[in-house]
């Protein structure tokens, strides 16, 4: 039987009392592949892709769902979303490379970034990248120069910063006025960017883009951003005949990490995005463009869990109990970076009551390396397999080798079968690029 990960995840236990994900016993996976281990449920990723496609199809035939691969970039998952008919967004030459190795057709790739280098641009153009989302005046000039030198024309969108507050953590809010990304509206900057892009002989300005932030629950911010973007389109149309063929309204849909989290549905998100564009364009007397969206977190976030092995347990009477695991900030920086909240559970005691309040600590040499403060889990002992659900987005993607930690292995599970999609790094990998002081 296949199922997609649902909350409470503790309900997914087998007759041994172990957490089971699509027919795979997580305790067995930990024994076979080691810990820390990232486990993705293939069916959940496919299901999220299908939900997006179906939800947008209900509103329009002219849309594109683009997987924001920064959430989790890997050859296998890029292939999986490609099979589901999504396009892909990359934010570096490296992510572009992974998408190409995955076999993504270059024309279905959108290239983002606020500081793309000449080398990155040349690499992507050489492969025939579909669209470049231009972020600055310097990039406009650089791109025009490169394309002129190569001959031909390049499709571009301009990234606009609509000045909308997105009710999320400031580090993942990207659409406000004070942002390193994109062209702001103040002082006619965005309008000027459109004018310059239209005048560039080798650039084909097909539309605009805005991404206002991530882990957003309230849809009204998206709606406001659309209103602002379409007003700009109207001004550029009136001013210099700009025809917006594609409007990329970003990603940003939040997911459920904790019991309190109440994200909007993909259906409501699609309604706000497509009908918002339709209403605003109609009010402006302009034709409906192709609607593009770029979800990342909501495609892979809840599909992934991380399994750790419990090591030392330190009880400080009347203060707290620290339960240390064999990973931490090197495989999940989000709690330190954004104060991100997670739930925890013991995979080998999934059928036991969660009645013990502990703080789950990482193994790194930083006091702040805390994965979950005040988690309520089953009674822990060394050797238990502690699982954090919903670690599929922005965890492995931000993993580091801090404290000489090899990056964990990643497996994809489906109908009782597990397949390694990223091998665990070894100590040899850690020094593979190092060179000694002397020969
Ligand atoms: C330009 C752009 N598009 C899409 C995304 C994906 O956002 P999310 O993972 O919240 O859907 C991001 C992430 O912040 C982004 O910067």
Q: Which atom of ligand 1 is nearest to the CA of 296?
A: 9
Are 24 and 39 a contacting pair, CB within 8 Å? yes
Q: Please confirm, yes or no, whether 246 is among the known catalytic residues.
A: no
Q: For residue 9, what pLDDT band results from cuts at 50, 70 and 90?
A: low
**Tens of pLDDT along 335-378?**
999 999 999 999 999 999 999 999 999 999 999 999 999 999 99
Q: For residue 166, what pLDDT band results from cuts at 50, 70 and 90?
A: confident
Q: Which atom of ligand 1 is nearest to the CA of 295?
A: 11
Please state which architecture CATH assigns to domain 9-34+303-431.
Beta Barrel (2.40)
CA–centroid distance, 251 to ligand 1, in Å, is 5
Does residue 163 line the site of ligand 1, with CB under 6 A? no
**Tens of pLDDT along 69-108?**
999 999 999 999 999 999 999 999 999 999 999 999 999 9
CA–centroid distance, 35 to ligand 1, in Å, is 29
Phi, psi of 227 (to 5 degrees): -55, -45
- 239 has pLDDT over 90: yes
Does residue 113 line the site of ligand 1, with CB under 6 A? no
Asked if the domains 9-34+303-431 and 42-300 are classified in one and the same CATH topology, the answer is no
Question: What is the greatest pairwise CA distance in the chain?
Answer: 71
Peptide bond into 36 cis (omega under 30): yes
Mean pLDDT score of the chain: 95
Provide CB contacts within 8 A for 56, sequence distance 6+: 63, 65, 270, 273, 274, 291, 293
**Tens of pLDDT along 183-223?**
999 999 999 999 999 999 999 999 999 999 999 999 999 99
Out of 24, 244, 246, 365, the active site residue is: 365
Q: Residue 5 has what pLDDT? A: 58
Strands 356-361 and 320-325: parallel
Does residue 298 line the site of ligand 1, with CB under 6 A? yes
How far is 437 from 274, CA to CA, in rounded Å?
A: 59
Least confident of 143-152, 157-166, 167-176: 167-176
Q: Residue 174 has what pLDDT? A: 63
Ligand 1 site-directed mutation target among 66, 217, 250, 273, most atoms within 8 Å of CB: 250
Q: Residue 1 has what pLDDT? A: 35
Query: What is the third-level CATH fold of 42-300?
Result: TIM Barrel (3.20.20)
Does residue 69 line the site of ligand 1, with CB under 6 A? no
Phi, psi of 103 (to 5 degrees): 95, 10
Does residue 159 line the site of ligand 1, with CB under 6 A? no
Q: Which atom of ligand 1 is nearest to the CA of 294?
A: 4
Please report, for the chain, the start and end positions of each structural domain, with discontinuous segments joined by +: 9-34+303-431, 42-300
CA–centroid distance, 296 to ligand 1, in Å, is 6
Extract the runs of DSSP E, i.e. beta strands, from 362-423.
370-377, 385-389, 409-414, 417-422
Does residue 302 line the site of ligand 1, with CB under 6 A? no
How far is 55 from 264, CA to CA, in rounded Å?
A: 13
Ligand 1 site-directed mutation target among 213, 219, 251, 266, most atoms within 8 Å of CB: 251
* CA–CA distances in Å: residue 281 to residues 62, 225, 303, 327, 384: 15, 13, 36, 49, 56
Q: Residue 94 has what pLDDT? A: 98
């Amino acid at each position: 039987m296949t199922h997609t990960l649902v909350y409470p995840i503790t309900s997914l236990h087998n007759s041994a009392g172990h957490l089971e994900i699509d027919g795979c016993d997580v305790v067995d996976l930990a024994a076979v592949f080691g810990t820390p281990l990232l486990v993705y449920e293939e069916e959940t990723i496919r299901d999220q892709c299908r939900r997006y496609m179906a939800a947008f199809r209900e509103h329009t035939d002219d849309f594109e769902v683009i997987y924001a691969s920064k959430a989790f970039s890997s050859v296998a998952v890029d292939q999986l979303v490609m099979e589901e008919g999504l396009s892909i967004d990359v934010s570096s030459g490296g992510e572009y490379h992974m998408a190409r190795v995955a076999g993504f057709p270059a024309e279905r790739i959108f290239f983002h970034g606020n500081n793309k280098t000449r080398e990155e641009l040349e690499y992507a153009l050489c492969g025939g990248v579909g669209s470049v989302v231009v972020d600055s005046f310097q990039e406009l000039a650089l791109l025009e120069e490169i394309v002129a030198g190569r001959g031909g024309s390049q499709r571009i969108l301009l990234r606009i910063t609509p000045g909308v507050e997105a009710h999320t953590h400031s580090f993942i809010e990207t659409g406000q006025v004070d942002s390193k990304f994109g062209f702001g509206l103040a002082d006619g900057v965005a309008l000027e960017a459109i004018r310059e892009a239209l005048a560039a002989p080798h650039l084909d300005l097909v539309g605009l883009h805005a991404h206002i932030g991530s882990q957003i629950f309230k849809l009204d911010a998206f709606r406001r951003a659309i209103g602002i973007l379409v007003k700009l389109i109207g001004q550029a149309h009136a001013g210099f005949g700009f025809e917006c063929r594609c409007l990329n309204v970003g990603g940003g849909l939040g997911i459920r990490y904790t019991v309190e989290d109440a994200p909007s549905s993909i259906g409501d998100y699609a309604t706000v995005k497509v009908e918002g564009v339709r209403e605003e364009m109609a009010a402006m007397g302009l034709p409906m463009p192709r609607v593009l969206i770029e979800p990342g977190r909501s495609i892979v976030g809840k599909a992934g869990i991380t399994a750790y092995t419990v090591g030392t347990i330190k009880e400080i009477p009347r203060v707290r109990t620290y339960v240390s695991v064999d990973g931490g900030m090197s495989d999940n920086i989000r709690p330190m970076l954004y104060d991100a909240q997670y739930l925890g559970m013991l995979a080998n005691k999934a059928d036991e009551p969660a009645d013990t309040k502990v703080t789950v600590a990482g193994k790194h040499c930083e006091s702040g390396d805390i994965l979950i403060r005040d988690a309520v889990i089953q009674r822990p002992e060394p050797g238990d397999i502690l699982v954090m659900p919903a670690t599929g987005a922005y965890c492995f993607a931000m993993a580091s080798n801090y404290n000489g930690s090899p990056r964990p292995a990643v497996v994809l599970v489906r109908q009782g079968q597990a397949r390694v999609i990223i091998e665990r790094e070894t100590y040899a990998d850690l020094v593979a690029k190092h060179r000694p002081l002397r020969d």
